Amino acid sequence: MQKNRLFVANKPSKISSNLFLSRLKRKYGVKKAGFSGTLDPFASGCLIVAFGEFTKLFRFFKKEPKVYEATIWLGAKSESLDNENIQEVEKILPFQIDDIRIIVDDLKGEIEFIPPKFSAKKVDGKRAYELARKGKEFELKTSKMHIFKSEILHYKHPFLKLRLEVSEGAYIRSYAEIFSKKLGIKATLSALERLNEGDFKFEDEKELNPLNFLNLKENFYLKDYSDFEFGKKLEKNSFQNTDIGQYIINLGKFYSIVEIKENSVIYLLNKVEI
């Protein structure tokens, strides 16, 4: 029987997240595995990986803020907004660090952006990057991301290195695009490393207890635990806390996750062995 496992892997650059996961599956001899928070091939760093039944827990983890170190190549133009499709490099004069700092400070809070066409967003059931590689014309909808913190780490023209704390769903390539427009130039990312997602940080593929990362309150079932064993209908007044919300229930041999609604209780996950 495949062991349930959760850990953080350090994805290298120049490899897709899917291919990297395939290597991990071979390394550990598992069949069922998944990851949360795709990293682009050119990017490296923190990738949350789960085996077995733990793959069902991703949506209950607190995975923000996401922290990145990003290097922006000032004057470089790339259709994919990264270092893989450089079209031209314009020689531009260095900027005053104070002018750069004004833009970095201005780009905080909620920002509207259009995701890169070379992204995993879906358009009529197709991945955007698949359409972009074929030269197809399409439009992506405007999205929003939140920049919690940003700081300049290093500036040696034409390379600017930043540390960014952002929300889930943020695109650092789009941040670089917005940044460059405010600076009045073309620019692209030359490097991107994800340092952590929420409390998830790389620790040499150390096995983690998912209970320490679940963004859920614990609740207590007041009746017979066998109701969960057999997947019976649950009543709201059978729980210690009857407030509307999602809860994890410790049932000894396993855990279950339920959602208490106004007039009902539904299973979100049942009988996950931990």
**Domain residue spans in the chain?**
5-60, 66-197, 217-272
Find the mean pLDDT for residues 168-180: 93
Catalytic residue among 40, 105, 199, 224: 40
pLDDT exceeds cutoff 80 at 252: yes
Question: Residue 253 — very low, low, confident or very high, per pLDDT cuts 50/70/90?
Answer: confident
Residue 224 among the catalytic residues: no
239: Cα separation from own chain's centroid: 33
State the DSSP H helix or E strand holding residue 156, giving kind and residue range, or none if neither: strand 143-156
Return the percentage of the chain with pLDDT > 90, whole number: 78
CA 242 to CA 234: how far, in whole Å? 12
Which among 45, 24, 26, 49 is positioned nearest to 36, based on CA atoms?
49
pLDDT above 70: residue 119: no
Least confident interval from 23-32, 118-127, 144-153, 236-245: 118-127
**243 pLDDT higher than 70:** yes
With cut-offs at 50, 70 and 90, classify the pLDDT of residue 235: very high
pLDDT score of 2: 62
- Estimate the crossing angle of helix 172-183 against helix 97-106, to 10 degrees: 130
Residue 1: pLDDT above 60? no
Q: Is the pLDDT of residue 137 over 80?
A: no
Average model confidence (pLDDT) for the chain? 92
What b/e sequence results for 177-196 when a residue is b if at least 16 CB atoms lie within 10 Å of its CB, and e otherwise? bbbbeebebbbbbbbbbbeb
Tell me the pLDDT band of 133, cut-offs 50, 70 and 90.
confident
Cβ-proximal residues to 215 (8 Å cutoff; 6+ apart), any chain? 60, 61, 62
Fold of 66-197: Pseudouridine synthase (3.30.2350)
Answer yes or no: is pLDDT of 246 > 60: yes
Mean pLDDT of 158-174: 95
Range from 95-99, 135-139, 172-176, 243-247 carrying the lowest mean pLDDT: 135-139
